[in-house]
Amino acid sequence: MKKAVIYARVSSDEQERQGFSIPAQIKLLKDYARHNNIQIVKEFTEAETAKKSGRKEFNAMVKYLKASKEVNTILVEKTDRLYRNPSDYGLIDEGKFELHFVKEHEIINDEASSHQKFIHGLKVLMAKNFIDNLREETRKGLKEKAEEGIFPNRAPYGYKNVRNERGKSIIEINPATAPFIKRAFEIYSRGNISIKDTANQLVKEGFFYRSYSPKISPGALEDILKNPFYTGMFRFRGQLMQGIHTPLVSNNLFLQVQRAFGKDNKPLYRKHTFLLGNFITCGDCGCSIVAEIKKQKYIYYHCTWAYGKDKCKNHKYYNEKELLDQLGNAVKAVQLDNACRKKLLDAIIELNNQEQNFQQESLKRLNAEAEKVRKEIHATYQDKLDGLITIDQWQAENELRQQRLISIRARIEAFDETNQKFMDDVNSILELLNDMYSKYLQVSDENKVNLLKTLLSNCTLKDGKLSWTYKKPFCYIAKKAVFENIYPGCDSNA
């Protein structure tokens, strides 16, 4: 009898309420195991998002399966229950596990055709695309808040988040911590004191940062002194915006502090962000490849020689432009001809139809939840009219339910927006692949690197030559392995 583990997940308590419950998944998977003569030896369940890798139970399952000599099979409801990002996909693929996606009626194992594996890779990519689009839609409200001057995040030290008389979240000065901020700016603005000494001086004067940590660290203090929030501005997604909160320091004082940083040749920004930073490793010793600026304008990359320069033969410096030119060859390899593009589009349309069915189930649950909340709102209002609850009780309960209803409506609208634009996005992606290299040559270097990080992993540099591995499913495209008789391997080195 085949032995297997069960993996069930909900991405939030909200999904748990909407019917994606772990018990429902477990029942489905156990029924499947019973009908297919599979013995369940262990269950792994968790209720946390898969947007970021590092889930505790997921990692425990992978570790268990890698150590086991008898169990190599995972039963899971569907693709996006197991993983929704490439990092998790890589861990599962490395383990060579047998995967049973019960709701999708699909089994992925060593006997699966390359076509099946390719489609499976597309499903993972589509799941990531969907969650990214959904996140983009639901975050539109944050941008609208920012444009209205409302900082859409947690208030920084010196301020606090409160609700006004209308129940809206606003930011106010925190009288307990604001004096610390003002005094810190005043001390450092003199221009004759270091960050470290400023921190010491604050303690001497009785300005304590936290009850459990009276002295602020130099790094935290520097972040505060460089934050324009205290002047009434704030940064949002790389832009400086005018806020409606009350400033703690004047613009003149803030500028004096910024000039004071220059006295020790301290930059207003801590470090230069290099395009290929944290992207390439040394092909000889395995250390990171880092960059530095030569003659104040040329960027060169070299090994860190962390194990000692005598342990590495890669002693040369390499120009950034030359490295980008080499990486362009990786883009060339995933260009599609018209025939491949059509086959790929047909496959994605088929998968999208399957996903739409599941999304419709989600929308039904959301609409049912919205109707339930509306009935509760009506019921509590009736209780108030009947004198069963006080006006204060009604206001408190009504506010909670109204907020819940707004949240549900936002998710419904986000689903609609995401579904509407999905195929447009797919067509745009395929158009890009159809003529990717010429477009790659035309965009900025920053956008070049963003594209490369989408396509590639495990980039190494040795003797001036870059090598890389394509992420799935781009590896199949790079091998021109689209459907029939496609090459089963995925590594594609330059």
Average pLDDT, the chain: 80
Write the single-letter amino acid at 449.
V
**What pLDDT sits at residue 263?**
63
215-263 confidence digits (pLDDT tens):
999 888 999 999 999 999 998 877 888 999 999 999 999 999 988 887 6
Residues 470-488: what's their mean pLDDT?
53
* Whether pLDDT at 492 is above 80: no
Q: What is the pLDDT of residues 386-444, one digit of tens each?
A: 999 998 889 888 888 888 887 787 677 666 555 555 566 566 556 656 667 777 788 78
pLDDT of residue 244: 92
For residue 163, pLDDT over 90 is answered with no
pLDDT of residue 246: 94
Q: What is the pLDDT of residue 226?
A: 92
How far apart (Å, rounded) are the C-alpha atoms in residues 307 and 405? 57
What is the C-alpha to C-alpha distance for residues 470 and 240, in angstroms, rounded to an integer?
Answer: 37
Q: Cis omega before residue 179 (within 30°)?
A: no
- pLDDT score for 438: 77
Residue 133 has pLDDT above 80, yes or no: no
- Averaged pLDDT, 265-279: 62
Q: Which residue has the higher pLDDT, 389 or 89?
A: 389
Helix (H, G, I), strand (E, B) or coil at 265: coil
Give the confidence band of 483 by pLDDT, cuts at 50, 70, 90.
very low
Best mean pLDDT range from 91-95, 266-270, 426-430: 91-95
The pLDDT of residue 126: 63
Is the pLDDT higher at 21 or at 23?
A: 23
- Alpha-helical runs (H) found in 286-390: 320-332, 338-385
Please return the burial class of 435, using the count of CB atoms within 10 Å of its CB with bins 0-12, 13-18 and 19+.
exposed
- Average of pLDDT values for 153-159? 90
What's the CA gap between 1 and 108, in Å, rounded?
18
CA 256 – CA 249 distance, rounded (Å): 11
123 against 129, higher pLDDT: 123
Stretch(es) of the chain classified as CATH 3.90.1750.20: 154-264
For the cut 50, the answer to whether the pLDDT of residue 494 exceeds it is no
**What's the CATH fold of domain 2-112?**
Rossmann fold (3.40.50)
Q: Which one-letter amino acid corresponds to residue 161?
A: N
Instruction: Report the pLDDT value the prediction gives residue 17, as an integer from 0 to 100.
Output: 46
When the candidates are 3.30.70.1290, 3.30.565.10, 3.90.1750.20, 3.40.50.300, the CATH number that belongs to 154-264 is 3.90.1750.20
Whether 270 has a pLDDT exceeding 50, the answer reads no
Say how many residues make up the chain.
Answer: 494
pLDDT tens digits for range 307-351: 888 889 989 999 998 998 899 888 888 777 677 667 667 766 766
Q: Of the given ranges (251-255, 363-367, 465-469), which has the lowest mean pLDDT?
A: 363-367
Among 92-96, 240-244, 345-349, 357-361, which range has the highest average pLDDT?
Answer: 240-244
- Residues of the chain within CATH 3.40.50.1390 domain(s) are 2-112
Q: Provide the pLDDT for residue 357.
A: 67
Whole-number pLDDT of residue 421:
55
The Cα–Cα gap between 206 and 183 comes to: 11
Predicted confidence at residue 129, as pLDDT, reads 58
Asked if the model's pLDDT at residue 138 lies above 70, the reply is no
CA distance 177 to 181: 7
Is the pLDDT at 482 greater than 60? The verdict is: no
